[in-house]
Amino acid sequence: MALTSLHQMLGVLETQENWHTRRHFQAVLACWSDVVGSAVTAQTRPISIQRQVLQVATSSSAWAQNLMFERQRILTKLNGRVSSPLTDIRFSTALWKRPLRSNAAADETSEQIKLWQAHPSRVALPETESSRLPNPPLRDPKTAFDAWAKQIQARSRQLPLCPTCHCPTPPGELQRWAVCSLCAAKGW
């Protein structure tokens, strides 16, 4: 068995099309902030290059739409900085992933969790053996609906009944309004 040197292996890798695309993408990433500016950089992320078209994730559809109007200008600037020209840019919110949260955002989220845990309509269900098992894939809509209906019925069996409509009601709603939330809303 003959061993191949690292230099030879890198030479083989560099001749492959996938390697060229990665280098091209890295070059785009390196100059993206300079081309579009810091405000746009904060709201966008280049994702990939497919067939010489740059795919860019945006934080909102408004950003995607505004940048579509500017794409020719951005494309001209980018092509002036990279060795292999791009033919187009596509902006989409589909691949946007939120950045790591700041402490203020994390505090806001933990406050929302506390509010939901104290909400009268929340039902804390005990974890059963069947709830921990993964659900099998359901192929037809009727089977999926039947499975969902059984699960909802099983969850609501332990709930007390509303004195007005006799529907299963979370205990917090009965403590707060003496009836379910729907009956309470009708009374208002």
**What pLDDT shows up at residue 2?**
66
- pLDDT at residue 135 tops 70: no
Compute the average pLDDT of residues 174-184: 89
Can you give the pTM of this predicted structure? 0.47
Does 139 map to a domain? no
- pLDDT at residue 178 tops 50: yes
**Domain span at residue 167?**
157-188
**What pLDDT shows up at residue 151?**
84
**What pLDDT shows up at residue 129?**
47
Compute the average pLDDT of residues 143-171: 86
Domains held by the chain: number: 2
Last residue of a domain, one of 73, 92, 111: 92
pLDDT tens for 50-86 read 889 999 999 999 999 999 999 999 999 999 998 889 9
Domain harbouring 72, CATH code? 3.30.300
HEC profile of the chain: CCCCCHHHHHHHHHHCHHHHHHHHHHHHHHHHHHHHCHHHHHHEEEEEEECCEEEEEECCHHHHHHHHHHHHHHHHHHHCCCCCCCCEEEEECCCCCCCCCCHHHHHHHHHHHHHHHHCCCCCCCCCCHHHHCCCCCCCCHHHHHHHHHHHHHHHHCCCCECCCCCCECCHHHHHHHCCCHHHHHHHC
Average pLDDT, the chain: 81
Last residue of a domain, one of 49, 72, 92: 92
Does 161 map to a domain? yes
Does 56 map to a domain? yes
Does 179 map to a domain? yes
**What pLDDT shows up at residue 172?**
86
